[in-house]
């Protein structure tokens, strides 16, 4: 059972455009939602994260929007740059137990000049 | 620079061999994890450990075992390698607590022939 559904699987965006990746979750016990960025040949790295007590979090060009009632969250990359080309994973975990993270299936983003 | 180090970048093993994948972290993290990454499937949790000598099954533990004799080291063992275990294996670690992200290693690309 896939608990975090991510779309699209791949995305091509022009330089300067907005990249949008969407995720939906099922488990209402999830209350920590990180995004990871993975460059080729590297492991994923934590990019930005949000808790459900806020609807939006912004760090530089990266923004997470969170809709608790719809159980959906999304990553927006403003002014997308070729250096943003990577695979992005959304994820979710609960704050009880051992906080193991469930990942989405990933979105391969290509930003073209 | 804090990091998670995986012992091998690439491995080629024969079907039926016993395979050891080693992971060491230098951040004094309590939690350690093993994931496998396959195209279209994202990151799937194999095993995790929240303390020395402790282990918990993840979502796909069949055919794998783990060992954590020291806090900084977490080993993944393929008891009898099979071709369907050809994959990218990622080790990660984190502090115990709800708001700590994972630090990943660069991965081991295992091919079973």
Domains of chain B, earliest start first:
4-112 (2.60.40.10)
Q: Assign B33 to helix, strand or coil.
A: strand
d(CA B104, CA B33): 9
Q: Left, alpha or beta for B26 (phi > 0: left; psi -120 to 50: alpha)?
A: alpha
What is the extent of the structural domain holding A69? 4-112
Domain with A104 in it: what CATH number?
2.60.40.10
- Report pLDDT digits (tens) over B28-61: 999 999 999 998 889 999 999 999 988 999 999 9
* pLDDT over 80 (residue B71): yes
- Residues in chain B within 8 Å Cβ distance of A45: 103-104
- Report pLDDT digits (tens) over A33-81: 999 999 999 999 999 999 888 999 999 999 999 999 999 999 999 999 9
Confidence at residue A31, expressed as pLDDT on a 0 to 100 scale: 87
Q: What is the DSSP string of chain A?
A: --SEEEE-SEEEEETTS-EEEEEEE--TT--BEEEEEE-TTS--EEEEEE-TT-SEEEETTEEEEEETTTTEEEEEETT--GGG-EEEEEEEB-SSTT-PPEE---EEEEEE-
Residue in A closest to B42 by C-alpha: A105
Contact A99 B43 (CB under 8 A): no
Q: A3: pLDDT confidence band, cut at 50, 70 and 90?
A: confident
- Report pLDDT digits (tens) over A4-40: 999 999 999 999 999 999 999 998 888 899 999 999 9
Nearest to A34 by CA among A61, A10, A62, A9: A62
Confidence at residue A112, expressed as pLDDT on a 0 to 100 scale: 97
Confidence at residue B98, expressed as pLDDT on a 0 to 100 scale: 61
* Overall number of domains in chain A: 1
Confidence at residue B1, expressed as pLDDT on a 0 to 100 scale: 65
Q: Where are the beta strands (DSSP E) in chain B?
A: 4-6, 10-13, 19-21, 23-25, 31-38, 42-49, 56-57, 64-70, 73-78, 87-94, 103-104, 108-112
Which of A92, A98, A106 should one mutate to test binding to chain B, selecting the residue with the greatest count of B CBs within 10 A? A98
Confidence at residue B100, expressed as pLDDT on a 0 to 100 scale: 76
- Percent pLDDT > 90 in chain B is 81
Confidence at residue B47, expressed as pLDDT on a 0 to 100 scale: 96
């Amino acid at each position: 059972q896939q608990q975090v559904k991510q779309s699209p699987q791949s995305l091509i965006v022009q330089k300067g455009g907005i990249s949008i990746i969407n995720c939906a979750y099922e488990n209402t016990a999830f209350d920590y939602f990180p995004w990871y960025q993975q460059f080729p040949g590297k492991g994923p790295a934590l990019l930005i994260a949000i808790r459900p007590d806020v609807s939006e979090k912004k760090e530089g060009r990266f923004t997470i929007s969170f809709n608790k009632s719809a159980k959906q969250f999304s990553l927006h990359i403003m002014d997308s740059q070729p250096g943003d080309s990577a695979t992005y994973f959304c994820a979710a975990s609960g704050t009880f137990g051992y906080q193991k993270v469930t990942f989405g299936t990933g979105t391969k983003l290509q930003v073209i000049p | 620079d804090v990091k998670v180090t995986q012992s091998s970048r690439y491995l080629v093993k024969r079907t039926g061999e016993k395979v050891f994948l080693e992971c060491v972290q230098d951040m004094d993290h309590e939690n350690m994890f093993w994931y496998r990454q396959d195209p279209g499937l994202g990151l799937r949790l194999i095993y995790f450990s929240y303390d020395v000598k402790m282990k918990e099954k993840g979502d796909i533990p069949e055919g794998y075992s783990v060992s954590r004799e020291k806090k900084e080291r977490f080993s993944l063992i393929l008891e009898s390698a099979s071709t369907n275990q050809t994959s990218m294996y990622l080790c990660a670690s984190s502090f115990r607590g709800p708001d700590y992200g994972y630090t990943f290693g660069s991965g081991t690309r295992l091919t079973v022939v």
